[in-house]
Structure 1
């Protein structure tokens, strides 16, 4: 980058820097993850005070080596409406955390920013249309599946990692099972010691999350009950922890917002979900 540059990106994280400055972590389609100093941004009347998480900014940055500094900014889009509900804000924070784990500094990941912005817009619709909180949980799971794939850590949903057999869940066969082994992938059958075991309908639901739209029933309602979506959140969390070293902390807040029982709800028995 030159001494003075213009760039656009989504603010994923903000922290204090010195007495009045902010440290921004930006996701840019052209430069990947980058950290920038916003001088004086913590002062209420600062022209840079709009540098807040989940804001899409057009920036003029200066400086050479080391931490570059924001000279000017324009807010292109704000997702402040997500704060209207705890579950949508937590889901957005979780997806932002996952993006930070997936995108290296200075190395863009093609399509990831575009996908993240689309997911945030869909979470915004949950707030604006007063949709059920389950929609925010489903978007958190679907977004994780899609972002992990873009970042090079896709869930291997096509084949059993031990036998090579295709994972073709027989809907209606309630005895069928497959197991997630985090350091391998999916294995046919209920494997002893497996972290997550799915039935046929649950795996079919998970496989559909690679598509753009959430899976819906004929009446327009979301497929799958709450316990299944919580179990799928457990699954993507385990996969992230195994392959990225950790998983987003915000997933705990999603569980608390969606279910009064919190994490315990996701470890209950395999309730039969709606068939995809």
Structure 2
């Protein structure tokens, strides 16, 4: 590796380092997660003061081994507007936390950065266009579903984990049920000990989240009411806790935006 290098990526995390430095965790398309020291970045007039979470930076870094240091930076984009609303900020922080869990250090995971930037851009529109809070919740849920799939922990939405039958929810049949067993997957029918049970409409909505766009009705409104989206948020939390060891802490804050502070 050369002593001087250019890096471009999204700052997922920033923490104090020493008296005035910052320790950055950068997500880049080429290197995955990279930890960098930003000398003096906590000083008000520092040229590196733009090294903050949810900023897209172009960096010149130096150092042959150990913790590399930021020499120069250019802010390409800053998602600071997300802090104007608690639901958009907590949704963005939750997605950033999930990316930190899914992407290895110094190992790229194709598509994660692009998808994360897409979801952050959508959250930014929620703020700028004064969209409803439910939009932020739906973006968070879909973003989590996408990141889990890209990171190798996709929700197994194609077939029953026990019978192998296709998971083809019969819309309109209100008696049909599908159970989530995080250690196995989805099982058709109500199962004793299941941590979450979905009806046909809820499973169909979850399956549609694998597509690029959010599911909407003809009038442009989101499919699914708020309680269903909160259940889907809980579902991906359960899946993450089982397969990644924990779920993002920011999801609890997002729940509180909707009067639902219960832990999953």
TM-score when normalising by structure 2:
0.99
SS at match of 2:187: strand
Q: Distance in 2 between matches of 1:222 and 1:255?
A: 18
Match for residue 271 of structure 1? none
Matches within 5 A, 1:75-90: 75-90=75-90
Q: Distance in 1 between matches of 2:82 and 2:76?
A: 16
Q: Distance in 2 between matches of 1:256 and 1:263?
A: 8
* Structure 1 ranges of 4+ moved more than 6 A: none
Q: Distance in 2 between matches of 1:184 and 1:34?
A: 33
Q: Distance in 1 between matches of 2:170 and 2:125?
A: 34
Q: Distance in 2 between matches of 1:7 and 1:40?
A: 19
Match for residue 194 of structure 2? 194
Structure 1 position 263 matched with structure 2 position 262:
yes
Q: Distance in 2 between matches of 1:58 and 1:163?
A: 50
Quote the offset at 1:64 in angstroms: 1.1
Q: Distance in 1 between matches of 2:244 and 2:48?
A: 33
Match for residue 270 of structure 1? none
Matches within 5 A, 1:86-97: 86-97=86-97
Matches within 5 A, 1:7-86: 7-86=7-86
Match for residue 117 of structure 2? 117
Q: Distance in 2 between matches of 1:136 and 1:218?
A: 20
Q: Distance in 2 between matches of 1:52 and 1:253?
A: 21
SS at match of 1:210: coil
Q: Once the two structures are superposed, what CA deviation does each residue of 1:65-117 show, in whole Å capped at 9, x if it has no partner?
A: 10000000000001011111000000000000000000000000001100100
TM-score when normalising by structure 1:
0.94
How many pairs are equivalent?
264
Quote the offset at 1:2 in angstroms: 1.5
Q: Distance in 1 between matches of 2:74 and 2:13?
A: 17
Match for residue 153 of structure 1? 153
Quote the offset at 1:219 in angstroms: 1.3
Q: Distance in 2 between matches of 1:3 and 1:184?
A: 47
Q: Distance in 2 between matches of 1:30 and 1:260?
A: 40
Quote the offset at 1:263 in angstroms: 2.4
Q: Distance in 1 between matches of 2:240 and 2:108?
A: 19
Match for residue 171 of structure 1? 171
CA RMSD of aligned residues (A): 0.9
Unaligned runs of 5+ in 2: none
Unaligned runs of 5+ in 1: 268-276
Structure 1 position 104 matched with structure 2 position 70:
no
Q: Once the two structures are superposed, what CA deviation does each residue of 1:221-243 show, in whole Å capped at 9, x if it has no partner?
A: 11111110000000000100111
SS at match of 2:71: strand
Q: Distance in 1 between matches of 2:260 and 2:149?
A: 30
